Amino acid sequence: MPHAAAKDGVRLYFEEAGRGTPILFLHEFAADHSNWEPQIRYFCRGHRCIAYAARGYTPSDVPPSAESYTYEHFYTDALAVLDHLEIEAAHFVGLSMGSYSSLQVALHAPHRLSSMTLAGVGSGSAIENLDAFRAQCRATAEQFETLGSAEVAKVTREAPGRIPFLVKDPRGHAEFYAALARHDATGSANTMRGFQGGRPSIYTMTDAIRKVATPALIICGDEDDACIAPSLFLKQHLPASGLTFFPKSGHVLNLEEPSLFNAAVERFIALAEAGRWGARDPRSVVS
């Protein structure tokens, strides 16, 4: 199995297909590298596509301590995969947790991104609810440890942001949660406790975000309530960003609406590569 080595020695499993300008896919908490299959099959026709399993998600290594699961570990892991493959820069396509890591790369190593797609980004960012969100993360981590992944999957499969997926595609929804039920419980608990419950809110990064010149496409489902305000915030502050909402859609955007997702990302990457996705023209801003 192909693996890249993170800075701390954790092995990160990856898969790749196709040739051309590289695209790196970063998955969400409840998913893994395999959930990008509809995108890999589409984009590998013209791009070198790489999807990797984050630390804590087999067949990547599962470190035993939550201290190995900070947001710094996750964004530097993405860079480690690029380094292993000798890729200087790639288009980053992230969903949720993967979007947060993509944004962190843009903040700390902007030369490594050709563009970034931030889908389902920013849940748990609201400052007024941050303590409650972190407490919920700790409680969910304990559920993984005491009940196991299969039982947690049963509890979370009807979370509000997942319902649109269930309504549209019950078969796909069931397959998604069957996969979550097989996740390593220790890895999921540590990711929930270390990354999800420990990452800074994007609302605390306003000044840094305003300096990011990376072309960005923000995608949000209009029924993904936790991500609507953060998506609008990023559109307001990321200079070279565009924002699109998918109608009647929740959090699992790439699987709920794969054709719509692929078309939006394909157009964005083409414009970014052509140098036609720059900062907003000041003449379009209402003073």
In this structure, are residues 227 and 121 in contact, taking their beta carbons and an 8 Å threshold?
yes
User: Helix 130-147 to helix 149-156 angle, to the nearest 10 degrees?
Assistant: 130
The string of pLDDT tens digits covering residues 106-129 is 999 999 999 999 999 999 999 999
User: DSSP labels for 144-172?
Assistant: HHHH-HHHHHHHHTT-GGGHHHHHH-HHH
Closest CA to 104 of 240, 200, 244, 243: 200
User: How is residue 41 written in tokens?
Assistant: 């099959």
The string of pLDDT tens digits covering residues 236-262 is 999 999 999 999 999 999 999 999 999
Q: CATH 3.40.50.1110: does it fit domain 3-281?
A: no
In this structure, are residues 4 and 52 in contact, taking their beta carbons and an 8 Å threshold?
yes
The segments of the chain whose pLDDT lies below 70 read none
Q: What pLDDT does 286 receive?
A: 86
Q: Which strands make up the sheet holding 47-52, listed edge to edge?
A: 3-5, 11-17, 47-52, 21-26, 90-95, 113-119, 216-221, 241-246
Closest CA to 220 of 180, 260, 174, 191: 260
In this structure, are residues 216 and 240 in contact, taking their beta carbons and an 8 Å threshold?
yes
In this structure, are residues 233 and 202 in contact, taking their beta carbons and an 8 Å threshold?
yes
Residue spans of the domains in the chain: they are: 3-281
Alpha helices in 29-148 (DSSP H): 37-43, 71-84, 97-108, 130-147
How far is residue 7's CA from residue 36's CA, in Å, rounded to a whole number? 25
Closest CA to 187 of 10, 38, 40: 10
User: Helix 97-108 to helix 71-84 angle, to the nearest 10 degrees?
Assistant: 70
How far is residue 160's CA from residue 80's CA, in Å, rounded to a whole number? 34
Give the side-chain half-sphere CA count within 13 A for 37.
Answer: 6
Please identify which residue in the block is written with the tokens 């549209």.
168
Q: What pLDDT does 285 receive?
A: 87
Q: What pLDDT does 219 receive?
A: 98
Give the side-chain half-sphere CA count within 13 A for 236.
Answer: 12
Q: What pLDDT does 18 receive?
A: 98
